[in-house]
Amino acid sequence: MQDNFCNPFANNGNIVYGDDFIGRQDQIRTIQQRVINSSQAGCLAIVGAPRIGKSSLAYHALIYPQKKLNEQRILSFRINLPDVKNHQELFRELVKQTLETLDDADSEDESLFIKGKSLLEKNLQWLDLQFEVRRFFKTVKRSKWRVVAVIDEFDEARHIFKDGVGFQALRELAYQPEWSICLVTVSRRSLSEIANQADSDISNLPGIFKDETLRCFNQEELRDLLNKLQKIGFDVTDESFKFIWDNTGGHPHLASALAFELANSWLNSHQYNLEQTLQESTSEFLKYYDNLIDILKEDGSLDKLLQILFGPLITVTKFDVEKFMRYGLIEPNSDGYYKVFSSHFEDYLRLVGRSIDLWPLWRDTEKKLRLLITQIMENQYREDWVSQLEKDHPKLKKMIDQCRLAQEKEKKSFGGRASTNILDFTYPMNLYDIITANWNLFEPILKQDKKYWSDRFGLLAKLRNPMAHIRDEVIQEHERQMAEGYCQEILYNLEAYQKRES
């Protein structure tokens, strides 16, 4: 079948290499300089979010050009770590893969084959196996071969190396000059995080690796990716590019999923609708988001990410911000705060955040305040209270329009999961503005005066707002305690009102 009848993104989700590989030139240069071109190769840890292209990078740079690497007397191979049960099996697999790669390279060094096969045929205890494996790789090195072992899905080491022995043994195999092999790990988590989750004191293992963190494509790389659509006669307009960039942030898997639906529509009818293709990609997007959320939950990172993006600022620190920026999950925006890699993912996180109590007392206060405002406004204006409110108080129109847009966007992206209450898209000072615009209705409930509540809502807003990057804002413990006191005061007044009304 000709190219113009084939969807150029049909292989999305598979390892990409060769002519289909896009971008990552800086990372490829790092691999060449540290792993390939150096006579004393250093270990490398390729780290990044799920589906960001880690395995594709390793395969494209170190496995696909195997024949060329053999000519440089480099033996490269890939091991999928979940395929082995423990460190003993991994060490045997390293020897086995080395022999297979030697065979593919048409090596005539029979002594290596004899030594390796003899080792694999023996049923050795761990210490004896470790000794023999080191001797084998010492012989390989003396034969002027260099071994590069790509260990994919290295996150699994948290489980199969839980006793710490495997980590230390790998370090010795890669570190000692007599037999050293080059290790290239591929993982979602950093080696330090993997070690910590394994409950093993192996802080010396990450020290011999250079971290290479993969982030989303930049705009130039995304354009190169989308240029594949030209094979079917689809020209990517500026509007299409901006839409894909806004909704994927250049994430290669998500951009490819969206491009697949675009190509499908184009092949079927030579027409396309950007919003419709996003809808058709939603299941793939949500599957990815759920996977990423599960990873973030493991060490409490999800709560901190939500604090940075939406507040309240309870436990998050600048160190957490730097970590998320290093992984490419967030970046500063033009408003002085932070944003995640795509607007679509941010909308999803906002949805997730409503079901997580980062600060239960404020969550309860916010929920009951919104309920009260809705109740009072419906009594005053009836069902269409939002339209009547902005008509009577034009100064609130801009805020209400922003909430309405956010609500419509969430509904379009996530359908039935979206909130139907417009007040769910407000911040504390938005609620305060509605209250003060109708102070005659709320004064009997909250007591005091506007100035009194302005100070209190101001502090609540400081804690509830997202983290700002334009200033080094630190929430002091006494401010948190004061804010909790204000929440209790609000709840007391609301409960007293409900009792009077019942």
pLDDT, position 4: 64
pLDDT, position 1: 42
Domains of the chain by start residue, with CATH: 25-213 (3.40.50.300), 219-353 (no CATH), 359-499 (no CATH)
Tokens of 484: 């909790």
Tokens of 304: 């901190």
Tens of pLDDT, residue by residue over 86-116, are: 999 999 999 999 999 999 988 888 889 999 9
Tokens of 3: 């190219």
pLDDT, position 253: 97
pLDDT, position 177: 93
Count of positions (residues) in the chain: 502
Give CA torsion, residues 479, 482, 488, 492, to 10 deg. Answer: -140
Tell me the H-state helices in 359-449: 360-381, 385-392, 397-414, 428-437, 439-446
**C-alpha closest to that of 100 among 41, 132, 147, 44:** 147
Residue ranges in the chain whose pLDDT is less than 50 = 1-2, 470-472
State the residue for tokens 């405002």.
373
- Whole-model pTM? 0.82
pLDDT, position 2: 46
